[in-house]
Amino acid sequence: MRRFLLGLTLASCAFVAQAASSTTGVAFVHGTSKQTDALNDYWKPAFVNSVRQGLVNQANYVVINCDFNQFMWDAAAAGCLAGQLTTFISQRGITDLVVITHSNGGNVMRWILSNPTWDARYPNIISKTRWVNALAPSSAGTPLADAVMNGNIFESAVGWLLGFKTDAVRQQQVSWMAYYNANWLLGTAGRPVTPKRFYSVVGTDVETAVWDSDSYCGGYTENLGLEVTQFWLDSCSDGFLNCSSQSAAGSVWFNDKSRMAGGEPLSHNQSRRACFGLDTILRNDL
């Protein structure tokens, strides 16, 4: 027993040493959109700069800029992500990579984890990855994507959030994601687990009140739009995704209200912002 406990202690110390290594890096992977400046246009510097403070070498970070309006396997999506991660790993000597994704970015990253023979760059990325922290991942799609593709009022209502009739929106239709999860992607019920752990942070509600300062975190107008679209989703949703979709792949790390300051929920927009201590939790995880 003593030998067993000693082994556990040594293993724990080795893990901590890895987590604290100067070759640990973090990658920020955006959601549906074509990005050329995701730091300023998608995540915001306050969020990224806060999270990377958890690194021994705070320069070991990369903000991905790809065209995630394409299908997840497309050269402009997973191919672009693989290229930028490969360059980052090589140039910074990264041996321990934490990937933080948001929304559809979780699907693109899960494509890489699930299909190592698709692209010669994938195995090295997988081997270097510690785990993926997926913020509000659209792992089982969203009814709003179905609504957009059907051309009803949602197209104008959620264009700012989801985009219009792109391949990425088409991909995130509920039945389409069910097909991909059953045949191409790992980590959902009845499928093998992903080769590296995939943890989701689930947004469960949207709150907007003009007198409540918390409603302004991430942008009041955006949050108000999400509260409107929430009427067409389950009672547990972040205004864009049902909780069941966010928790469909991998394992749930936590639901928003259990960890956020003041028990606040995270709207789909707030889950990519420095709201209610989310950035601090991600920083400490590094």
Decide if 13 is inside a domain.
Answer: no
Residues 92, 90: Cα–Cα separation, whole Å: 6
- Domain with residue 194: its CATH number is 3.40.50.1820
Which segments of the chain does DSSP mark as H helices, in order?
A: 2-19, 38, 45-51, 80-92, 105-114, 122-128, 143-149, 154-157, 159-162, 167-171, 174-183, 220-229, 243-246, 256-259, 278-285
The residue-averaged pLDDT of 121-133 equals 98
Decide if 104 is inside a domain.
Answer: yes
Decide if 32 is inside a domain.
Answer: yes
Decide if 15 is inside a domain.
Answer: no
- pLDDT of res. 14: 45
Residues 148, 164: Cα–Cα separation, whole Å: 7
Q: Domain range for residue 51?
A: 22-285
Using CA of residue 131, residue 126, residue 28, residue 11, what is the dihedral sign? positive
Which segments of 27-157 does DSSP mark as H helices, in order?
A: 38, 45-51, 80-92, 105-114, 122-128, 143-149, 154-157
- The set of long-range contacts for 80-85, using a CB threshold of 8 Å and a minimum separation of 24, is 81/29, 81/108, 81/109, 81/112, 82/112, 82/119, 82/121, 82/122, 82/125, 83/121, 85/27, 85/121, 85/125
Q: Compute φ and ψ for 3, nearest 5 degrees.
A: -65, -40
Indicate whether 4 pLDDT > 70: no
Decide if 9 is inside a domain.
Answer: no
State how many domains the chain has: 1
Strand partners, 131: 98, 197
The residue-averaged pLDDT of 261-276 equals 97
Decide if 89 is inside a domain.
Answer: yes
Decide if 266 is inside a domain.
Answer: yes
More confident residue, 156 or 105: 105
- pLDDT of res. 156: 56
Contact 119, 49 (CB under 8 A): no
Decide if 268 is inside a domain.
Answer: yes
Which residue has tokens 């028990």?
A: 263
Model confidence, pTM: 0.92
